[in-house]
Amino acid sequence: MELLAAEPRARSADAVAAEPFDAFYRANSDRVYRALALTLGNHDLAREAADEAMARAYARWQRVRGMENPAGWAYRVGLNWATSWWRKLRWERPPVTEERHPAAPAPDPAALAARTALDQLPLAQRAVVVCRVLLDLSVAETASVLDIAEGTVKSRLARALTTMRDTLTEEN
Amino acid sequence: MHDVPEDLAAAVRRAATTAPAPGGDLDALRRRWRSRRRRRTAVTAGSVACLVALTAVGVPLVTDRLNPADRSAATVRPATPAERLLFGPLNDLLLSGDGREIRVVDTPPTITEINLDGSVVEHPLPENLVVVTGLSDGRLVGLTQPPMRLTVLRPDGSIEHSRSLGPDGIRIDLLDVTAREAYLLRNRDTIVAHDLTTGRERTVTPADIFPVGRILVQPYEIVLPPDQPTYLTLAGGPGLLSTWERQIPDGTPPGTSVPADRSRCGIHVVGLADQRQRGNWSVQGCGTVRNVRFSPDGRLLAVIYDQTSSDVSDESLWRVTVFDVATGEVRASQQLGRIIPLQEPLMHTWRDAMAWADNHTLRVGVPQVSENPNRLYRYDELLKVSTLTVQ
């Protein structure tokens, strides 16, 4: 199975600013979607959130393109949309637990084990892990995207990695 | 990324491959945006809010809900409101960024309560307590999941009891609670009254009296698969239920976001005993129903709705109108103010709430921000509570 390669470090804001939306979409839509899928643990919701985030980026591209990290912005918009949407649902009708693991067979046992380990983390920790690894954001960028302090990024990341390590070790 | 060991980073990337292909494309995205632009200007068919009055069991239940002070002195504002004004979980702070951009900061989940004297009380919530409603004696009742449990919190926040509601995977919605019973929707098909003390349950009604519709998740309507047909919530006392239903063309595939109806909202009141419609009226200029609440005696119905016909990214103008349930006559109406600016990623985080202090006094709380936010706000700073007195 082809692994998601770590994307090159974010290009300069100037380079992004000159980029048409189509290129941004092609380069980032899948990554943002998968980052949301891992964070939310719900593929359908992640798909909807990613589409929503990209639609907003498209509508506001003149502004978004000048941001330091448009992909991080899209991720945050999608995450906020999904979690708030979800919270709204949860507030009035609890989510169906089986929705969390929709039927999407993973042929790679290692991938499935990793996914299980990630799913056991609190959402806040998953978001940090996803930002740092999948979106390849720095600590400072992660803090900015998630609106948390850099120290919080570090502590959440450390706790998440420890838990993941323990879980994966147990499974092995 | 030196702080993430490479083997764990690789594991995270592997985990990402378990997500199926997103399936979206640029054309679909552009269609989505064009549809939204049309929605900003096109005013089309109305929304429907179906309100079902469980008249057979409702009257005694509603009566049970009232305390003696309400019955004897309805025009005197009680020291203890019939219903508590609760917002939540309000785990958000609003942060001003560049002057207009507002963002959300997550904090531990809490329920925020506004007392009659305007004082604010924060109620921290246990982890996983996701649906919460308040009793007039100070307790909070909510669902904890997973596993699905009914949890009662004492006024001091400690857990009075937490009882399993069944095996994992069962679908349960908490509709409302009295001092004695919690009203639950089990498996989307049966409404039961769950005794808070004993856990014993009695069937109130099958849920198929409600029109089969689609879920409304404001401001978008998501067409759900057939096994999740209807959005259902209790609007007022345990004798009064409501559903929201949107008229969506048959055959619309699950997961589709469809344009919101933006011109009027239809209100239907249906009696449970005979399943006959008792009232049917339309709220003109209603873009989206946000909340409904019956008075404790079931005679009045308050509806919060968004008057704007624009997309959610524009400012919103909210109004609350109180109807006479029997006649549909408007008994009171008040604009709640302009909610600005609704910009991403905040737009879906707003909360609104209303509660009847007695049968004639309605409290409504909505969050409002100033034209030029310039600092960090606590959410309760932004809540503006209005009081309507209905004669």
On whether residue A4 sits in a domain, the answer given is no
Domain co-membership, A117 together with A149:
yes
ipTM of the complex: 0.79
Give the model's confidence band at B233: pLDDT under 50 very low, under 70 low, under 90 confident, else very high. Answer: very low
Domain co-membership, A82 together with A126:
no
pLDDT tens, B237-285?
A: 444 444 444 444 455 554 444 444 445 566 656 555 555 556 666 677 7
Domain co-membership, A96 together with A48:
yes
On whether residue A7 sits in a domain, the answer given is no
Most confident of the following: B36-50, B98-112, B136-150: B136-150
- Listed residues A101, A116, A151: the one ending a domain: A101
Write a three-state SS string for chain B. CCCCCHHHHHHHHHHHCCCCCCCCCHHHHHHHHHHHHHHHHCCCCCEEEEEEECHHHHHHHHHHHCCHHHHHCCCCCCCCCCCCEEECCCCEEEEECCCCCEEEEECCCEEEEECCCCCEEEEECCCCEEEEEECCCCCEEEEECCCCEEEEECCCCCEEEEEECCCCCCCEEEEEECCCEEEEEECCCEEEEEECCCCCEEEEEEHHHCCCCCCEECCEEECCCCCCCCEEEECCCCCEEEEEECCCCCCCCCCCEECCCCCEEEEEEEECCCCCEEEEEEEECCCEEEEEEECCCCCEEEEEEECCCCCCCCCEEEEEEEEECCCCCEEEEEEEEEECCCCCCCCCCCCCEEEECCCCEEEEEEECCCCCCCCEEEHHHHEEEEEEECC
Burial of residue B343, with CB atoms counted within 10 A of its CB: 0-12 exposed, 13-18 middle, 19 or more buried: middle
- Listed residues A85, A101, A117: the one ending a domain: A101
Q: For residue B310, is pLDDT > 70?
A: no
Q: Please tell me if residue A77 touches chain B, with a CB cutoff of 8 Å.
A: yes
Buried residues in B250-271 as b, exposed as e (16+ CB within 10 A): eeeeeeebbbbbbbbbbbbbbb
Q: For residue A11, is pLDDT > 50?
A: no
Q: Which of A84-93, B171-180, B224-233 has the lowest mean pLDDT?
A: B224-233
Q: For residue B340, is pLDDT > 70?
A: no
Average pLDDT, chain A: 74
- CA of B94: which chain A residue's CA is closest? A147
Domain co-membership, A118 together with A83:
no
Compute the average pLDDT of residues A17-30. Answer: 80
Residue A152, classed as helix, strand or coil, is helix
Compute the average pLDDT of residues B131-145. Answer: 81
Q: Does the distance separating the beta carbons of B168 and A97 come in below 8 Å? A: yes
pLDDT tens, B315-332?
A: 567 788 998 877 888 999
Dihedral over Cα of A12, A13, A14, A15: its sign: positive
Q: For residue A106, is pLDDT > 70?
A: no
Domain co-membership, A159 together with A89:
no
Find the CB nearest B104 among A29, A35, A80. A80
Q: Does the distance separating the beta carbons of B8 and A164 come in below 8 Å? A: yes
Q: Which residue would you say has higher pLDDT here, B127 or B320?
A: B320
Domain co-membership, A19 together with A67:
yes
Q: Which residue would you say has higher pLDDT here, B274 or B82?
A: B82
- CA of A48: which chain B residue's CA is closest? B255
Domain count along chain A: 2
Q: Report chain A residues whose CB lies below 8 A from the CB of B231.
A: 92-93
Domain co-membership, A152 together with A121:
yes
pLDDT tens, B151-170?
A: 999 988 888 988 988 876 67
Q: State residue B377's pLDDT score.
A: 63
Domain ranges of chain B: 45-83+92-122+211-389
Nearest-CA distance from A71 to chain B in Å?
14
- Whether residue B347 contacts residue B339, with contact meaning beta carbons closer than 8 Å, is answered with no
Domain co-membership, A134 together with A97:
no
pLDDT tens, A53-70?
A: 888 888 778 778 888 888
Q: State residue B145's pLDDT score.
A: 64
Domain co-membership, A47 together with A94:
yes
Find the CB nearest B106 among A124, A129, A136. A124
Q: Which residue would you say has higher pLDDT here, A133 or B317?
A: A133
Q: Which residue would you say has higher pLDDT here, B312 or B161?
A: B161
Q: Please tell me if residue A123 touches chain B, with a CB cutoff of 8 Å.
A: no
Q: State residue B275's pLDDT score.
A: 53
Q: Does the distance separating the beta carbons of B218 and A88 come in below 8 Å? A: yes
Using alpha carbons, select from A8, A47, A34 the residue that is nearest to residue A111: A34
Q: Please tell me if residue A61 touches chain B, with a CB cutoff of 8 Å.
A: no
What CA–CA distance (Å, rounded) separates B98 from B342?
A: 15
- Whether residue B208 contacts residue B196, with contact meaning beta carbons closer than 8 Å, is answered with no
Q: State residue B237's pLDDT score.
A: 41
On whether residue A135 sits in a domain, the answer given is yes
Give the model's confidence band at B372: pLDDT under 50 very low, under 70 low, under 90 confident, else very high. Answer: low
Domain co-membership, A33 together with A96:
yes
The label of the residue with tokens 């919103």 reads B316
Average pLDDT, chain B: 64
Q: Which of B282-296, B342-356, B376-390 has the lowest mean pLDDT?
A: B342-356
Give the model's confidence band at A101: pLDDT under 50 very low, under 70 low, under 90 confident, else very high. Answer: very low
On whether residue A5 sits in a domain, the answer given is no
Q: State residue B86's pLDDT score.
A: 84
Q: Does the distance separating the beta carbons of B20 and A93 come in below 8 Å? A: no
- Listed residues A101, A125, A144: the one ending a domain: A101
pLDDT tens, A71-95?
A: 998 998 888 777 654 444 433 333 3
Give the model's confidence band at A20: pLDDT under 50 very low, under 70 low, under 90 confident, else very high. Answer: confident
Q: Does the distance separating the beta carbons of B173 and A94 come in below 8 Å? A: yes
Domain co-membership, A73 together with A125:
no
Find the CB nearest A165 among B8, B10, B222. B8
Chain A, 8-27: which have a CB under 8 Å from a chain B CB?
22, 25-26
Find the CB nearest A94 among B32, B131, B228. B131
Give the model's confidence band at B58: pLDDT under 50 very low, under 70 low, under 90 confident, else very high. Answer: very low
Domain boundaries, position A147: 108-172
Q: State residue B363's pLDDT score.
A: 93
On whether residue A95 sits in a domain, the answer given is yes
Domain co-membership, A24 together with A53:
yes
Q: Report chain A residues whose CB lies below 8 A from the CB of B39.
A: none
- CA of B224: which chain A residue's CA is closest? A44
Q: Does the distance separating the beta carbons of B19 and A38 come in below 8 Å? A: yes
Using alpha carbons, select from A141, A143, A162 the residue that is nearest to residue A151: A143
